Every structure is written in C-alpha cells, then in structure tokens.
C-alpha cells in the first residue's frame, strides 16, 4: 500500500513544483517556529535540522503517511540568511548579497509517520546576485516581494538581479525536485 504524500509546508511555490511534476499529495503545514541558527551551524546542518523538525511535527500529529518537509536558506560565507523580519532586514540581506555568488541550501526530510523512519538530504545551488542601483534597491524593497523569502528574494519571481549560476533551479525556488525523486527511488521502503 502506498503511503499518502503529505507536504508539511504552506508554501505555494512548493505546491506548484509538486503539481507540475505530477505528484499527488495533501498539504498539512507544520507551523514549526524557525529558530535562529545555533552558533557554528553550517547552512546544510541548519536546513536539514529544520526540515526534520517540520516533518517530525506533522508526523506526530498525523500518525500515518509519508511526510515531506523542506527548509531553504541562503548563505553568504558562514552567515545564514533566513526570511527577513522587516524591510530593514531585507535591505541588509540584499546589500550583503549584491555583486556576489551566494549559496542556496534546501534541507529535505521524508518521514514515514507510522514507522518513525526518515531520511534527509540537502541540495546546494549557487545564485549570482548582481549589484543594484539605489533606485532599483528601493523599488524592490518598496514592492514587498522580499516578504517570506529566504535571503529576501525569489528567483521564481523572475527578479532580474538574480540568476542561478550553478545547480538546481527548483532548489532555489524551495524544493529540489531532482533530489526528491532520487530520495523516493533510493528509499522506496518509506513510500510502501
């Protein structure tokens, strides 16, 4: 018997990616509070830990099903950039990334609720962030498109100042579809 796939996220971008790939799934957001990274956390460790926490919370609530959770962060060197808390935080993040290659990491967790079995993985991509003029930066910040987006931008919004230079586009959007397909194929015991 196939366990139902349950997306532990309210992200419309993750839902869209799964639908486009032909997956059948339910949505049950985890509502887990995302804490700040612990001192010394790498982006990979932090993203995987958050994905696991989200999957575990939904698995505990549901008791059955294959829970899919993901968490995406941006990083500039050792600094992890979550979702901006306000306009000033978004501006700080944007300025930090301008003119640089930045890393986007998505942690994935597939958690089989009834067996308490899980597997995790991380996908890394590099995004090129071009320098902005003061006018471009202000217009972008005024648009509020930075809200709810790691690093303060969304490549799926076709923001003209970011481009994926290496790695998975869907990873930068928030759900690395290639890695997800690989995990499902590699660990079929979780789905059946």
pLDDT tens for 38-93 read 888 999 999 999 999 999 999 999 999 999 999 999 999 889 998 999 999 999 99
Q: Which residue has the higher pLDDT, 192 or 146?
A: 146
pLDDT at 116: 86
Q: How far apart are CA 167 and CA 58, in angstroms?
A: 29
Reported as a single tens digit per residue, the pLDDT across 112-171 is 988 888 999 999 999 998 999 999 999 999 999 899 888 998 887 766 788 888 999 999
Other beta carbons within 10 angstroms of residue 31's beta carbon come to 11
1 pLDDT higher than 60: no
Please state the domain count of the chain.
1
CB 106 within 8 A of CB 167: no
| Residue range 3-20: mean pLDDT, rounded | 93
pLDDT at 189: 73
Q: 60 - beta bridge partners?
A: none
DSSP string, the chain: -PPPEEE----HHHHHHHHHTT---EE-------PPPPTT--HHHHHHHHHHHHHHHHHHHHSSSEEEEEEEEEEETTEEE---SSHHHHHHHHHHHTTEEEEEEEEEEEEETTTTEEEEEEEEEEEEE----HHHHHHHHHHTTTTT-GGG--GGGT-TTEEEEES-HHHHHT--HHHHHHHHHH-HHHH-
100 pLDDT higher than 60: yes
- Residue 71 annotated to the active site: yes
Predicted structure pTM score: 0.90
Catalytic choice (71, 86, 89, 157): 71
pLDDT at 107: 97
CB 110 within 8 A of CB 68: yes
pLDDT at 163: 84
| Residue range 96-114: mean pLDDT, rounded | 94
Looking up residue 184, the CATH number of its domain turns out to be: 3.90.950.10
Domain range for 19 is 5-191
pLDDT at 159: 66
Q: How far apart are CA 186 and CA 127, in angstroms?
A: 28
pLDDT at 35: 87
């Amino acid at each position: 018997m196939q366990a139902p796939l349950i997306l532990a996220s309210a992200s419309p971008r993750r839902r869209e990616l799964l639908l486009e790939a032909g997956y059948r799934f339910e949505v049950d957001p985890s509502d887990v509070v995302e804490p700040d990274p612990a001192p010394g956390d790498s982006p990979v460790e932090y993203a995987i830990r958050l994905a696991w926490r989200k999957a575990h919370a939904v698995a505990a609530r549901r008791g059955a099903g294959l829970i899919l959770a993901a968490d995406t962060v941006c990083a500039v060197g050792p600094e992890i950039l979550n979702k901006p808390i306000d306009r000033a935080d978004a501006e700080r993040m944007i300025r930090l990334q301008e003119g640089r290659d930045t890393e986007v990491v998505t942690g994935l967790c597939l958690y089989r609720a009834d067996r308490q079995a899980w597997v995790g993985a991380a996908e890394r991509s590099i995004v090129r962030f071009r320098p902005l003029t003061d006018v471009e930066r202000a217009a972008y910040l005024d648009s509020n498109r930075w809200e709810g987006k790691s690093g303060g931008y969304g490549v799926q919004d076709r923001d003209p100042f970011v481009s994926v230079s290496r790695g998975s586009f869907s990873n930068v959007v928030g759900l690395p579809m290639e890695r997800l397909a690989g995990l499902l194929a590699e660990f079929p015991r979780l789905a059946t």
